[in-house]
Amino acid sequence: MDACGCEGFATTFDRRTAEADRDRYRRSGPDATTRMLLGLIRRYGVAASTILDIGGGIGVIDLELLHEGAGHAVLVDASEAFLTVAREEARRANVLDRIEFVGGDFVHEAAEIDSADIVTLHRVVCCYRDAEALVSLSSARAGTLYGLVLPRDRWFVRLGVRLINLKRRVLRQAFRVYAHPNAWIDRIVAANGLKPRYEATTAVWRVAVYDRA
């Protein structure tokens, strides 16, 4: 198993899944936790900001912030299928010239990726075994704010993760999900000079924005 722990990633995040995400976005806009994260980011203003969206999928965060005045976005994703759909959506939204697409595991590519004013990881920490490397390297690249959406520290969330992974094991699917302790994640972010500023939650998800004092 590699640091990512992403065996089976390509079959989990395939073209069919990407197109389903695209169709939901076109029909209903950003999902609930994406709206929550965007709402917290908007408190800072986004005019002319640069965006680094890690594990950004079809690019919903990038599209929304670019339409609101952000200057440039870099979308990093390990799924080529999602990157293909993200490019199509960027072209459709007439912002293709303002987004750079990077394929691969962010931790492996981090040395080649510049810092940005706003760094986001929406439901990405829960897909990554080596959360320390992922969060440390990504938060180090946040110039102004750092936004995360990750599973909450609740017993039924941890139970749900175990059940999901048990089902995947029975079905011989390699991909796993993770519920990393939130306080541990906060300490990793704090080591890079960022403090938690705003937070919102659902029953399952914690939406957190950190910034530099």
CATH number at residue 201: 3.40.50.150
- Predicted local distance difference test score (pLDDT) of residue 8: 63
List pLDDT tens digits, range 59-107: 999 999 999 999 999 999 999 999 999 999 999 999 999 999 999 999 9
In this prediction, residue 6 carries a pLDDT of: 56
Report how far apart, in Å, the C-alpha atoms of 87 and of each of 9, 14, 170, 171, 181 are: 20, 15, 35, 32, 34
pTM of the model: 0.94
Q: Is residue 69 part of a domain?
A: yes
Residue 132 belongs to some domain of the structure: yes
Q: Where are the beta strands (DSSP E) in 60-174?
A: 72-77, 99-103, 116-122, 142-151
Structural domain harbouring 179: 9-212
pLDDT of amino acid 4? 55
Residue with tokens 């390699």: 174
Report pLDDT for 1.
Answer: 39
The domain total for the chain is: 1
Considering all CA atoms of the chain, what is the largest pairwise distance in Å, rounded to the nearest integer?
48
Q: Which residues of the chain have pLDDT under 50?
A: 1-2, 5
Q: What is the predicted pLDDT for the residue at 10?
A: 67
pLDDT at 12: 80
Is residue 65 included in any domain, yes or no? yes
